[in-house]
Amino acid sequence: MNVIGEELQLNFEVGAQLAGLNVAESIIAVVLSLGLSAVCVAMIMFGTRRGKTGLPETLEASRSTHAVFVFDEHRLLSGPQDWHDPLGNDGEDESDWERLHRQFAPRFPTMPDLPALSPGENFGIHLSCLSGDEAVLRIRQIGHRLRVTLREAEPPCMQDRNNARLNRIQLSNLRSVVEQISIPVWSMDFSGAITDRNAAFRQLEVQLTGSKDITAPLLRSADVAQEQPAFNYRVMLDPRGRSPERWFDVSARRQKAGWHCSAQDVTALVRAELAQRNFVQTLTKTFAQLSTGLAIFDRDRQLILFNPALIDLTQLSPELLTSRPSLSQFFDNLRDRQIMPEPKNYASWRDQLNALVSAAADGRYQETWSLSTGATYRVTGRPHPNGAVAFLFEDITDEILMTRRFRQQLSLSQSVLDAITDAIVIFDAQGMMSYCNTSYRHLFRIERDADLSEVAIRDAHRMWSRSATEARDLDPMLTQLLTRRDKCDADRHFTLVLRDTGEIPCRVLPLVSGACMVTFGNLQNTQAALPLLDLSELSEETAAE
């Protein structure tokens, strides 16, 4: 409207001056006036159309190939209107320069961290690290102010703007996934500054106030010259207050500007490993105190565990055992030291060894080795988890000697009983016959090699009754034998009349531990050759009763 008013005023002034001009000058003045009016009308129409379509800022911004930012130290003084949202305050405690640096640094990694150039420099050019990206970031120092210019190679087209929106959606989705993931994820530069983090890491930072434990190994290995693309380590986080210690396995991958890291909580795994080590140490201490030699071979048949008793029993050197010999080498050394019986055929020694290992793996191997030194070993093979096999070496020399001595004593006792002319039989606490002498076998016609261990008191009573003239005379004796465990009576005397022998005195004597002994008179004149008695008939008749 001001332009229109100025035009009318100009026309009025021109008309007022036409009165003093000639015809030619008047025509020229009118033409100039009309031309000036047309220019003013065109300017007014262009301004009106521009205001209606809304193109002055958005269209120019979309077609522009550069953006200029002016900083006064960390504070943004001016910048493009369409950059207000990316540089807006999103709740982080950041300055304007830090927000701009966060936007540009991934694309221009050489951009300075602080809003100032190096001493002696007033201008800097930074190229994009992306292939095919010809954009340039220019920074000019003007006094204490900094002018940052982003210049693109060409204005974005419709496809570029659509791709940018799609990438923004994908980036938002990825950020949402990373933000909600339960494991800590973060990015850091080579100086140790955290540039990005998710919610799990922020929660972890509360426990790590003032601590750099989780990033310290990366800072110690941050030499770019190493060219190490990945880095894995385990770290313990110092507990705060009464919180228990926590262990994390950190996985980091080197990037151009720093590290991308993630951490997995392995506290439960570390505690389980510690418990396993303590258990193994406890077992090792227990094995060290055993008198039985222990040798455990893994699934590859290499010696993985042994105890000191094995050294004492096998006389193998600790150097040999700690070198993890194979199972065949182990037994070869035992054979060389005559710790195991000498094989009869050396050609089949390997086959015998393979059979030994197979039997041990099935839990079927157990042998007694009688050595030339007079010692006796019991060797047992047992299967172990994960295909391993364990061998136990036990010195049973004393046990064998004691068994032999016990057998000698039994043989001597039996000889003493056989030397007595009276017939003697002994019943144990369960009422089963345990001993009898030769005179007893002759008296009741029992074979010399017959097994009497299954003969009970009632079976013996029936045997006696068959040989007696009057079976009822044996009933008091049977009662005495059956009730001996309930009454600790002294010995009792009875008289038994046999058909072939006549009258014989009998005695029932209580013994220790509930046993008892029965003797049948003096049998010096007893005939040795009498018809033998069938013991199976006694058991059948007792069962029938």
Domain count, the chain: 4
- 202 inside domain: yes
Q: Identify the domain boundary among 353, 372, 400.
A: 400
Assign residue 125 a region (left: φ > 0; alpha: ψ between -120 and 50; beta: otherwise): beta
CATH of the domain at 202: 3.30.450.20
Kindly state whether residues 253 and 301 are assigned to the same domain.
no
Q: Quick one: 437 and 393 in the same domain?
A: no
Residues 452 and 392 in one domain: no
Total number of residues shown for the chain: 545
Which segments in the chain show pLDDT lower than 50?
1-19, 47-62, 224-225, 524-530
For residues 306 and 384, state if they share a domain.
yes
Which residue range(s) make up the domain with 380? 290-400
Does one domain contain both 520 and 484?
yes
Q: Are residues 366 and 431 in the same domain?
A: no
- Whole-Å CA distances, 87 to 94, 127, 387, 514: 10, 21, 64, 103
Radius of gyration of the chain, Cα coordinates, nearest whole angstrom: 55
Q: How far is residue 260's CA from residue 257's CA, in Å, rounded to a whole number? A: 10
Structure tokens at 154: 């060409």
CB-CB contact of 252 with 259 (8 Å): yes
383 lies in the same domain as 427: no
**What's the pLDDT at 44?**
55
What's the confidence (pLDDT) of residue 393? 92
pLDDT at 323: 92
Q: DSSP letter string over 244-300?
A: PPEEEEEEEEE-SSEEEEEEEE-HHHHHHHHHHHHHHHHHHHHHHH-SSEEEEE-TT
Last residue of a domain, one of 339, 372, 400: 400
53 in a domain, yes or no?
Answer: no
In the chain, the amino acid numbered 411 is: S
Q: Is residue 42 part of a domain?
A: no
How many CB atoms lie under 10 A from the CB of residue 360? Answer: 22
Report how far Cα 20 is from the mean position of its chain's Cα atoms: 112
Number of C-beta neighbours around residue 386 at 10 A: 6
In which residue are the tokens 């002696």 written?
120
- On whether both 294 and 390 belong to a single domain, the answer is yes
Final residue of a domain: which of 369, 400, 431? 400
CA 337 – CA 371 distance, rounded (Å): 11
Q: Which residue's entry shows tokens 């799990």?
A: 200
Residue 389 lies in a domain: yes
Q: How far apart are CA 482 and CA 378, in angstroms?
A: 43
Name the 3-class secondary structure at 164. Answer: helix
**pLDDT the model gives residue 383:** 86
| Residue 50 placed within a domain | no
pTM above 0.75, yes or no: no
Give domain status of residue 16, yes or no. Answer: no
Task: Please tell me whether residues 300 and 349 are part of one structural domain.
Answer: yes
CB 111 within 8 A of CB 127: no
Asked if the structure places residue 456 within a domain, the reply is yes
Same domain, 363 and 439: no
CATH of the domain at 120: 3.40.1840
Q: Would you state the torsion angle of the CA atoms of residues 379, 383, 385, 390, taken in this order, to the nearest 10 degrees?
A: 20
Same domain, 211 and 265: yes
Question: Quick one: pLDDT at residue 270?
Answer: 92
- For residue 447, the model assigns a pLDDT of 85
pLDDT score recorded for residue 188? 86
Are the beta carbons of 374 and 344 closer than 8 angstroms?
A: no
Which pairs count as long-range contacts for 129-138, CB under 8 Å and 24+ apart, including other chains? 129/256, 133/107, 135/107, 137/104, 137/107, 137/108, 137/111
Q: How far is CA 4 from CA 13, 29, 50, 141, 224, in A?
A: 14, 19, 18, 46, 69
Per the CB < 8 A criterion, the answer to whether 433 and 426 are in contact is yes
Question: Is residue 99 a part of any domain in this protein?
Answer: yes
Q: In what order do the strands lie in the sheet with 376-383?
A: 303-306, 293-297, 389-395, 376-383, 366-370
Q: How far is CA 89 from the centre of its chain?
A: 46
Which amino acid, one-letter code, is at 77? L
Tell me, yes or no, whether 255 and 311 share the same domain: no
